[in-house]
Amino acid sequence: MKPRVIEIIPTPAQISETISDKIQPTEENQITLILVGDIMLNRGVEYMVGKEGDGDYSFPFLKIVEDLKGTKLLF
């Protein structure tokens, strides 16, 4: 019978340490993420879009549009 080889899987902390030792953050290798929850455009929002935004559904996002444009990944 042959002896079994057991591979040791590195922990996430060990992987992170290894990667951070080799890669230094720069503008080129950094990404920006923006994550938002469910966006419900009915009820009160729908009313305000009609009243204040003249029916334009981009109205609720006008104050944050530049932040949204500045990200590389948006969910």
Could you report the per-residue pLDDT of 27-74, keeping only the tens digit for each?
A: 777 777 888 888 888 889 899 999 999 999 989 889 988 888 878 777
15 in any annotated domain:
no
20 in any annotated domain:
no
30: left (phi over 0), alpha (psi -120 to 50) or beta: beta
What residue spans of the chain are helical by DSSP H?
12-22, 43-52, 65-69
70 in any annotated domain:
yes
54 in any annotated domain:
yes
53 in any annotated domain:
yes
Global confidence as pTM: 0.49
60 in any annotated domain:
yes
What total of structural domains would you count in the chain?
Answer: 1
Range of the domain at 65: 39-75
User: Strand 73-74 relative to strand 33-34: parallel, antiparallel, unpaired?
Assistant: parallel
At a CB cut-off of 8 Å and minimum separation 6, what does 59 contact? 48, 49, 52, 53
